[in-house]
Amino acid sequence: MIVTVTLNPAVDKVYWVESLKVCQITQEEFLTRATRSSTSAGGKGVNISRFLSAFGMDNVAMGLVGGHTGHVVVRYLRHKGVTTNFVWIQNETRINVTILEEGRSHSPNLINEHGPEVTPAEIERFMRRYRRMVKQAKWVVLAGSLPPGVDTGIYAELSKIARESGAKVVVSAGGEALEKSLDGCPSIVKPDTREHMVFEGEVLSSVDSIIKAGKQVVACGVEMVIVSHSVTGDIAITDDAVWEIKTGVPTSLFKNLVGADDAFLAGILYKLAQDAPIEESLRFGLAAGLASAESDKKICEDRSLVEAQMEQVTVEKI
């Protein structure tokens, strides 16, 4: 079984517009109408659970939820066949907004809330439940940002607890939460570079800088580091190899990049959990990300579409 942890889940609102206008004059006011919209449960771990359930893999989504939007998250996941085990908190789960302009879907405009304030008592309730759940897990995914009130070292602590129970750990996060998570020696690390293209003190501006930063982390005991360096390319670093995963699919075919990166990681995990070779896992992962990017839906749930995309993906040692 796989346990995903999303401490700062969200309700994701996506709006498609013909063009996004920006006010240029004081007190100017105008209306932009969405041509369509969608609402879904969001957050990195939530998205990964949704993919895994769609592909028939046993998993449990954990985290913190509160208020009306918290109920939306839980109901949505259960509707998608995901087993949930969230801890309820007093404050309201956040809402994230994405605006997609016609012809520019490959460059989404993201507005993410910080999330609800979480109390120490609420965290302690979560920790008690988490300790019970990870005893049944083969893999644990710690993903996404942390809400206010949660110590940035929590991923390291959760990683150590999972490893002591015999589970492998995946961390997909950014900033200080990611940096401190390395103290827990997770198996796989995927930096979230949407805000800051910096990892281990390296500005991730080239393949060489990505490899250098990745090797520094692998030297500390992490088995694999995966870094996205373009919309259609990723680098995976282990102690004995470096792989470039890429595709020639044009970005003009992309309809919705929200969640595609999470589908990419979920696809890799789906294969690794079945003891597939790394190359096959990486290829399937990018195929899952591409299939999601080419769909209006946030996460592609059609296995045939993912398998078709595998023909477009290459995995090469560099």
List the beta bridge partners of residue 141. 4, 170
Between 131 and 30, residue with greater pLDDT = 131
> Is pLDDT above 80 for 190?
yes
Residue 109 lies in a domain: no
List the beta bridge partners of residue 246. 233, 314
pLDDT score for 31: 81
Distance CA 140, CA 159 (A): 8
- Given a contact cutoff of 8 angstroms between Cβ atoms, the answer to whether 10 and 77 are in contact is no
Distance CA 55, CA 303 (A): 7
CATH (domain of 243): 3.40.1190.20
Distance CA 318, CA 233 (A): 13
Q: What is the pLDDT of residues 275-307, one digit of tens each?
A: 999 999 999 999 999 999 998 888 999 999 999
Of the pLDDT bands very low, low, confident and very high (cuts 50, 70, 90), residue 144 is very high
**Nearest in space to 266 (alpha carbons), one of 106, 95, 43, 102:** 43
Of 4-13, 105-114, 187-196, the least confident: 187-196
> Is pLDDT above 80 for 23?
no
Residue 23 lies in a domain: no
* Token code pair at residue 155: 């991923």
Q: Which residues contact 191 (CB under 8 A, 6 or more apart)?
A: 173, 174, 178, 199, 204, 225, 227
Helices and strands, number each (H, E), in the chain: 9, 16
Residue 267 lies in a domain: yes
Residue 31 lies in a domain: no
Of the pLDDT bands very low, low, confident and very high (cuts 50, 70, 90), residue 41 is very high
Residue 106 lies in a domain: no
Of 12-16, 135-139, 208-212, 268-272, the least confident: 208-212
Query: How large is the average pLDDT for residues 126-139?
Result: 97
Q: What is the pLDDT of residues 146-165, one digit of tens each?
A: 999 999 999 999 999 999 99
Q: What is the mean pLDDT of the chain?
A: 91
Q: At what angle do helices 120-133 and 154-164 cross, to 10 degrees?
A: 20
Any alpha helices (H) in the chain, and if so which ranges?
A: 44-54, 67-79, 120-133, 154-164, 175-181, 207-218, 260-272, 278-293, 303-309
Q: What is the pLDDT of residues 1-20, one digit of tens each?
A: 999 999 999 999 999 998 88
Of the pLDDT bands very low, low, confident and very high (cuts 50, 70, 90), residue 244 is very high
Residue 33 lies in a domain: no
Of 34-48, 184-198, 208-222, the least confident: 184-198
pLDDT score for 102: 85
Q: Which of 28-37, 44-53, 296-305, 309-318 has the highest mean pLDDT?
A: 44-53
> Is pLDDT above 60 for 128?
yes
- Given a contact cutoff of 8 angstroms between Cβ atoms, the answer to whether 170 and 269 are in contact is yes
Query: How large is the average pLDDT for residues 73-79?
Result: 97
Split into its structural domains, the chain has a count of: 1
Distance CA 238, CA 221 (A): 10
Residue 181 lies in a domain: yes
Residue 101 lies in a domain: no
Residue-number span of the structural domain to which 193 is assigned = 2-10+41-95+114-317
pLDDT score for 232: 72
- Given a contact cutoff of 8 angstroms between Cβ atoms, the answer to whether 4 and 60 are in contact is yes
